[in-house]
């Protein structure tokens, strides 16, 4: 496979790889490094890409595994918490602050979820993957995916409601 073919095949979903890495590793710098490592590994497998039915699913699985390995390694203790920026020029400053606060709360709540729920919620609600794609990526049964997603959403909803009703703890 030529470089241009590889670029056309992989580059459309490189942002998804980064967002998944960011969700798992939290740090933007670590997520960028992880994405770069996965892209390099994909490039090294470039000649074998024709053997894979879904290159995007393969790349997402590689990213997930790389990030989980990274978290398990000693390097996990060096990860820095860096929150992403959220902005929308059409809102007033107050609404921007409230929206950013809500996004930060959802990110914090998602970070506290069990790993499986976090992955399913990220892939389904953030990355917009279908249940079939998630089933292949995470090697889970459809029922388990739906249960994990339901529990994750319920936890996020309850904790956000609790925060809004009772104030910041």
Global pTM exceeds 0.75: no
- pLDDT tens-digit map of 19-46: 988 888 888 888 898 889 888 888 787 6
Domains of the chain with bracketed CATH: 3-78 (1.10.1740.10), 93-166 (1.10.10.10)
- The residue length of the chain stands at 169
* Alpha-carbon distance values, 36 to 67, 84, 111 (Å): 12, 19, 23
Q: Which residue has the tokens 């595994």?
A: 65
- pLDDT tens-digit map of 105-120: 888 888 899 989 998 9
């Amino acid at each position: 496979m030529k470089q241009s073919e590889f670029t056309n095949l992989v580059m459309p979903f490189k942002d998804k790889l980064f967002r998944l890495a960011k969700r798992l590793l939290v740090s933007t710098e670590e997520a960028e490094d992880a994405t770069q490592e996965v892209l390099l590994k994909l490039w090294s497998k470039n000649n074998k890409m024709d053997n894979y039915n879904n290159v995007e699913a393969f790349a997402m699985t590689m990213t997930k595994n790389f990030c989980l390995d990274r978290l398990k390694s000693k390097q996990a203790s060096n990860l820095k918490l860096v929150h992403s920026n959220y902005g929308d020029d059409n809102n007033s400053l107050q609404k921007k602050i409230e929206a950013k606060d809500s996004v930060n709360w959802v990110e914090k709540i998602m970070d506290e979820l069990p790993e499986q729920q976090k992955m399913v919620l990220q892939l389904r609600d953030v990355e917009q993957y279908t249940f079939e794609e998630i089933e292949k990526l995470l090697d889970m049964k459809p029922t388990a995916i739906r249960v994990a997603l339901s529990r994750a959403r319920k936890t996020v909803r309850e904790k956000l409601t609790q925060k809004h009703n009772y104030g910041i703890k």
